[in-house]
Amino acid sequence: MAAKKTTKKPNVSAEELKAYYKDMLLIRRFEEKAGQLYGMGLIGGFCHLYIGQEAVVVGLEAAAEEGDKRITSYRDHGHMLACGMDPNGVMAELTGREGGYSKGKGGSMHMFSKEKHFYGGHGIVAAQVPLGAGLAFADKYKDNGRVTFTYFGDGAANQGQVYETFNMAALWALPCIFVIENNQYAMGTSQQRSTSSAEIWERGKAFGIPGEAVDGMDVLAVKAAGETAVAHCRSGKGPYILEIKTYRYRGHSMSDPAKYRTREEVQKMRDERDPIEAVRSLLLTGKHATEDDLKAIDKDIKKIVNESADFAKESPEPHLDELWTDIYATEVPQEAV
């Protein structure tokens, strides 16, 4: 289980490359709009934006199949959009409106979609990690060939429940892909100051879990690593760890001024390593799209995002009676009988 980094790039068609560009751009524009609505006071509480990290979830969704599951932390809007959840429902939930995925009761950190197999953002650091293993346990029990993507950050990687989960996942050979979205600053402390391991994924060695480090600013590298992890899990070999090294441009949340790093550092990443600009360059240099084509895509994406904001603003506040709904399951799923 020697240390390794993914260098292989998958062969993708021009249409696939355009799809990744659109998906990442949708997340970027959506999050920019969410930031605007937060500034206007239409989104309250916490709001953690995914700007800069778009290649992580888009690359892994490209390696997923129908029926695979995903669960993540509070920085979750990008994951929702990447797995196909409706931008209208996501934005309405951010604003606490009835048309939201949790009917206005969950806000930024607590949305779910049974149809898209999205099992939520979770506000407690690392709480979703054992839950992700539980989802994978259900698939192992049913022998249905599905895998679970369990996302958490570099800060969460220092929580004890992560390693209890690693132990059980390895012991039971669960089809769980542990995705460490290492954006280098956790809530506001650099990895160098908070973590003794230079390579966090190598902690899986203690449990016999293989893994690798991945360039999280390169959507094709993420897709290639995702395909390796998925194949490993589907073949019954147990869990796999992907430490995807990425970078968020905004603070931990909208209330974070991010004074723990320089503006120059952030701008350098934007200028030299932006994941969307990298795909844009591939499309142009490969003559898969023209500047006009990309402008048209951006126009279409902005229209979708603006419509989601309008939908959120027009959706009513939840009725007080809604407070008492969805507390208990009212029906037992047929597959559980």
Write out pLDDT tens, residues 142-187.
999 999 999 999 999 999 999 999 999 999 999 999 999 999 999 9
Whole-prediction pTM: 0.93
Which pLDDT tens digits describe the chain residue by residue (337 residues)?
434 555 556 679 999 999 999 999 999 999 999 999 999 999 999 999 999 999 999 999 999 999 999 999 999 999 999 999 999 999 999 999 999 999 999 999 999 999 999 999 999 999 999 999 999 999 999 999 999 999 999 999 999 999 999 999 999 999 999 999 999 999 999 998 999 888 999 999 999 999 999 999 999 999 999 999 999 999 999 999 999 999 999 999 999 999 999 999 999 999 999 999 999 999 999 999 999 999 999 999 999 999 999 999 999 999 998 888 888 877 666 665 5
Supply the angle between the helices 219-234 and 14-39 in degrees, to the nearest 10.
Answer: 100
Structure tokens at 45: 């509480």
Helix (H, G, I), strand (E, B) or coil at 244: strand
Q: Which residue has the tokens 């959506």?
A: 30
Distance CA 245, CA 154 (A): 9
Helix (H, G, I), strand (E, B) or coil at 184: coil
Crossing angle of the two packed helices 275-285 and 291-314, in degrees rounded to 10: 140
The sheet that has 69-71: what strands, in order across it? 69-71, 148-153, 176-182, 240-245, 211-215
Instruction: Take residue 233 and report the two structure tokens written for it.
Output: 């899990």
